[in-house]
Amino acid sequence: MFKSIKSDLPASIVVFFVALPLCLGIALASGAPLFSGLIAGIIGGIIVGSLSGSKIGVSGPAAGLAAIVLTAIGTLGGYENFLVAVVLGGIIQLIFGLLKAGIIGYYFPSSVIKGMLTGIGLIIILKQIPHFFGYDADPEGDFSFFQADGENTFSQILKTVHNISLGPTIIGVIGLGILLLWSNILSKKGRFFQLVQGPLVAVVAGIVYFFLTELNPTYGISASHLVSVPVPDNFNSFLGQFSFPNFSIITNPDVWIVAFTIALVASLETLLCVEATDKIDPNKNVTPTNRELLAQGIGNILSGLIGGLPITQVIVRSSANIQSGGRSKMSAIIHGFFLLISVILIPTLLNKIPLSVLAAILLIVGYKLAKPALFKQMYDLGWKQFIPFTVTVLGIIFIDLLYGIGLGLLVGIVVILIKSYQNSHFLHIEDKSNGKHKIKMTFAEEVTFFNKGAILKELDSLPIDTFLEIDVRKTRYLDNDIIEILDDFAFKAKERNIDIKLISERGIIENPDSFIEFFKLRKKVA
């Protein structure tokens, strides 16, 4: 792990600056204590990062769970009661991992995964525009289209036009300029510019700008446009920020319902993120998904025990890690230590960071995930790839992450069904033989009930006085539904003067009386 520390350390700094506002914003959007988001970020980095088999994935509190957490805290009657569900959810995730449920992650179509990455990139850009211009009415981490403040993604942007704050905008533009200059020009000029990351320089510039303009009413930055980390008065008040689960309500059925919901949604988000990060990983590492579920389960148990939010692997932080050159799990672990050390030692300094500078960092992350060239690439791959991709992107933007992926997956399944309908068999029509049309029907390697409609349609459309040759030599699996269709057709064929020749690896049968008996015997021989 330490071999790539030169790459991992700079990447961990970028991930830290991306994670910090998201940890706080997701906690705020969840109706939970602000410190709970930081706890989840720290455990996600240090504990889950250490246990995970992913080299570039970064875990922490997830925006996709914010609405569930907000509702659950009210349903269960308080945050301490909710923490019991987080602990139980982690235990259920451990069971998922032991049952090898991680294999589900391998069954998401590539078009949906690419749509997820692009949709997340676009939603990051859209959600950061208000923060970039100093209009921070909605907290960081609220990625849903319909926001907690009553606005939606686009109405918030329209309101921003009339509520631009000069100070945050100026330092936001300066920060964005530093990031672009660093990545496009200075990073190629020497080793120093590769070790010292542009985001760190942009954040330092933001803090300096705050101090220089602190008393200026026009160019200064108000507290509402700054990071807001809880600042304890002493060590005892720091410890007082931790919450602990109230296990006396463990027999409440609602607690178990919330726990299972958290486990299911967190596992699904994690598996999707694993698939997505592996896809954009330049080294093409493959993450063991069952081990990931075990790591996430342990992380959620620990997070719930000390007052943290539920944890998942998160695509925003993971993609920032990849884009910044992270090579091993050390970048995720170090970012967790940065969160821990900074909230203990320098919370006051963190609270001088303008949110507009952090928004500039996220705008770069979003753009790299949703480059315009990707839309053309997906379009060139054909409608079977482009439609699920587009539906996923639009679903994420106009609803939220999980709904968008669900819609894309549903469309992807429909596409599979259409192609399966088309590719169940191949017809070859020859000239008349002995006064009859000769039609050869060759079945595919696997023919399932999905192909039922297509085959039934072809058989019903055969004209009378036809010679039908059915070739199943390459067919390894023939669904019982299809066998029954063929058996029914054999009876009807006699009435329509249709002769049937069945060709299999066992030989040729003329006008079989029963397809069902033939395929039963075929299975026994096989």
* Model pLDDT, residue 525: 47
Q: Which is nearest to 472 in space by CA: 483, 461, 487?
A: 483
DSSP label of 232: -
- DSSP code at position 424: S
The confidence band for 413, taking pLDDT boundaries of 50, 70 and 90, is confident
Mean pLDDT of 352-359: 94
Instruction: Name which CATH class applies to 423-525.
Output: alpha beta
- Out of 44-58, 121-135, 336-350, 421-435, least confident range: 421-435
Question: Taking 90 as the threshold, does the pLDDT of residue 420 lie above it?
Answer: no
- CA dist 303 and 418 (Å) reads 45
Nearest to 13 by CA among 201, 207, 176: 201
* Mean pLDDT of the residues in the chain: 88
pLDDT at 329 exceeding the cut of 90: yes
Q: Are 247 and 84 in contact (CB under 8 A)?
A: yes
- Give the strand pairing for 477-478 and 446-447: parallel
Both tokens of 228, joined, read 């807001």
Q: Hey, what amino acid is at 414?
A: V
Amino acid at 310: P
Longest CA pairwise span in the chain (Å): 101
Residues 16-28 have pLDDT tens digits of 999 999 999 999 8
CB atoms within 10 A of CB 254: 14
Predicted pLDDT of residue 193: 77
Out of 106-115, 386-395, 496-505, the most confident range is 386-395
d(CA 4, CA 281): 15
Whether residue 361 has pLDDT greater than 90: yes
**Collapsing DSSP states into helix, strand and coil, what is residue 507?**
strand
- Does pLDDT of 423 surpass 80? no
pLDDT value of position 424: 56
CB 131 within 8 A of CB 159: no
Domains in the chain: boundaries = 2-161+230-347, 423-525
Q: What is the mean pLDDT of residues 356-362?
A: 94
Round to whole Å and give the CA distance between 415 and 383. 9
pLDDT at 220: 93
CA 17 vs. chain centroid, Å, equals 21
Q: In whole angstroms, how large is the CA radius of gyration of the chain?
A: 29
Q: What is the pLDDT of residue 184?
A: 87
Task: Read off the pLDDT of residues 206-258 as tens digits, 9 standing for 90 and up.
Answer: 999 999 999 898 999 999 999 999 998 887 888 889 999 999 999 999 999 99
Three-state DSSP class for residue 326:
coil
Joined together, the tokens standing for residue 434 give: 């002995």
Backbone angles phi, psi at 503, to 5 degrees: -110, 120
The pLDDT value recorded for residue 84 is: 97
pLDDT at 439 over 90: no
Instruction: For residue 440, give both structure tokens.
Output: 């050869």
